Chain A
Amino acid sequence: MTQVQANFVFRALADPTRRAIFEELTRHGERTVHALTGYAGVSQPAVSKHLTILKRARLVRHRREGRETHYCAQPDALAPMVKWLDEYGAFWRERFDRLESLLQRMES
């Protein structure tokens, strides 16, 4: 299981403000912290903190230009989450098969 990387991604996206920021970045490409602050409707330190968590999950990447830091989305980082869902899908389907055979064995 790719639990560890998936964890970072899940945790990063568990917060609605971070989801909104990430969504904004996937939709509109690069954004400055300043622009994101206006969009998210929370303080700049709060936005910076959210961006740090998104960065740790590798969901965003940044570059500095003068005084401004520009952020953009890295949607490829969603791959561990997709993989996690795939693995759990296989797990449950196999369990459903076992449930089916158990039900056959049970008395009604």
Chain B
Amino acid sequence: MNQQTSSTLVIERVFPHSQQKLWRALTESKLLAEWLLSNDFESAVGREFQFRAQPVPNWSGLIDCKVLVVEPMQRLSYTWSSMGLETVVNWTLTPAEGGTHLRMEQSGFASDQDRAYKGAKYGWQNFLNALEQVLAKLD
């Protein structure tokens, strides 16, 4: 098994384009709508917005979001909640040979839901590492 053994979904790609151009595609509402979903995004920390996907039976298609981090050209992060499922989407842009490396990380849970419990011992990542073998048996 690969990425699915982790609750954090990671998609990475190097685009032969500048960081600035990628940043625009990630943060300008109109451009964002062209490749992701229609939205009322604004790149300001605390801004609440929605992505609107095609509704399907039992799902309105609405994704409620709140901007958590805006570090121009480098990092963008927002919550991504739909049907009570709270996730966080993290974008990281780094210069790469011939372009920009884009990393999308969607975590199953907001880290602030992780209240202290026996220190960091039972952090989500540790938990999943421990479960790796269990999950491998699922197939």
Q: Give the total of B residues in contact with A, Cβ under 8 Å.
A: 48
Of chain A, the residue at the smallest CB distance from B116 is A16
Contacts of A27 in B (CB 8 A): 130
Contacts of B6 in A (CB 8 A): 85
Q: A7 on the interface (CB 8 Å rule)?
A: yes
Q: A44 on the interface (CB 8 Å rule)?
A: no
Contact of A92 among B11, B58, B108, B131 (CB under 8 A): B11
User: Do B131 and A10 have beta carbons less than 8 Å apart?
Assistant: no
Contact of A85 among B3, B17, B18, B36 (CB under 8 A): B3
Contact of A95 among B22, B36, B118 (CB under 8 A): B36
User: Do A75 and B115 have beta carbons less than 8 Å apart?
Assistant: no
* Binary flags per residue of A69-108, CB closer than 8 Å to B gives 1, else 0: 0000101101101100110110011011011111100101
* Binary flags per residue of B85-125, CB closer than 8 Å to A gives 1, else 0: 11000000000000000101010110001111110001110
User: Do B130 and A23 have beta carbons less than 8 Å apart?
Assistant: yes
Of chain B, the residue at the smallest CB distance from A96 is B13
User: Do A92 and B17 have beta carbons less than 8 Å apart?
Assistant: no
User: Do A92 and B138 have beta carbons less than 8 Å apart?
Assistant: no
Q: B44 on the interface (CB 8 Å rule)?
A: no
User: Do A103 and B21 have beta carbons less than 8 Å apart?
Assistant: yes
Contact of A89 among B9, B17, B58, B117 (CB under 8 A): B9
Q: How far is the CA of A61 from the CA of B54 in the complex (A)?
A: 37
User: Do B106 and A88 have beta carbons less than 8 Å apart?
Assistant: yes
User: Do B18 and A108 have beta carbons less than 8 Å apart?
Assistant: yes
- Cβ < 8 Å to A, chain B residues 65-102: 82-86, 102
Q: A89-B3, A108-B17 are in contact. List 19 more A-B contacts (CB 8 A).
A: A3-B85, A4-B83, A10-B85, A10-B108, A13-B108, A16-B116, A16-B122, A19-B122, A19-B124, A26-B131, A41-B118, A78-B138, A81-B108, A89-B9, A96-B102, A98-B34, A99-B102, A102-B31, A103-B17
Which B residues fall within an 8 A CB radius of A? 3-7, 9, 11, 13, 15, 17-18, 21-22, 24-25, 31, 34-36, 56, 58-59, 82-86, 102, 104, 106, 108-109, 113-118, 122-124, 127, 130-131, 134-135, 137-138
The 6 listed contacts between A and B (C-beta, < 8 Å) are A13-B127, A16-B123, A16-B124, A23-B130, A98-B35, A103-B22
